[in-house]
């Protein structure tokens, strides 16, 4: 469970990525946008990769819950589809294992999605990621 501070930092990071892109994301901009000190930010996220891992993790968990609650309009893949493949190999083992577990849960839940354009896109996107992940393990 994320604290209010962690939620605020992740929200700020997500907004900054939407505004400037992932390459331009600067950790000092995140804590300023969220209204926290630099020290408070680094207590929650030790570096940019841990922040990006938390963004992926939060989205995976939220999407899994959205499927379970049949809130299909809330499904996204902004971080888990786009960001995960980019930063995954740079993450600490604990973060990779946590993301893999959440990804597997979401992948399993996607099988129950209805046959709509939005849901079919989500199914294909996560199916593609799963195939890519399996190829990289070999």
Instruction: Judge whether 50 lies within some domain.
Output: no
Number of helical H runs and strand E runs in the chain: 7, 0
The number of folded domains in the chain is 2
> What pLDDT is stored for residue 78 in this prediction?
77
- At CB < 8 A and 24+ separation, what contacts does 119-125 make? 119/72, 119/75, 122/63, 122/75, 122/77, 125/77, 125/81
Q: Per residue of the chain (138 residues), give pLDDT as tens.
A: 889 999 999 999 999 999 998 888 999 999 999 999 999 999 999 999 899 999 999 999 999 999 999 999 888 877 776 666 677 788 889 988 998 899 999 999 999 999 999 888 888 888 888 888 787 765
Instruction: Judge whether 51 lies within some domain.
Output: no
What domain range includes position 112? 59-138
| 34 and 84 in a common domain | no
pTM of the entire structure?
0.86
| 73 and 125 in a common domain | yes
């Amino acid at each position: 469970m994320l604290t209010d501070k962690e939620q605020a930092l992740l929200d700020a990071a997500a907004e900054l990525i939407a505004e400037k892109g992932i390459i331009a994301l600067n950790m000092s901009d995140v804590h300023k946008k969220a209204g926290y000190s630099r020290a408070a930010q680094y207590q929650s996220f030790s570096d940019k990769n841990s922040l990006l891992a938390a963004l992926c993790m939060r989205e995976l968990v939220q999407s899994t819950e959205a499927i379970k609650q049949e809130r299909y309009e809330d499904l996204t893949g902004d971080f888990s589809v786009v960001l995960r493949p980019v930063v995954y190999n740079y993450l600490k083992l604990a973060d990779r294992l946590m993301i893999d577990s959440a990804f597997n849960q979401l992948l399993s839940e996607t099988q129950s999605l209805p046959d709509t354009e939005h849901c079919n896109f989500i199914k294909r996107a996560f199916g593609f990621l799963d195939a890519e992940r399996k190829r990289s393990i070999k």
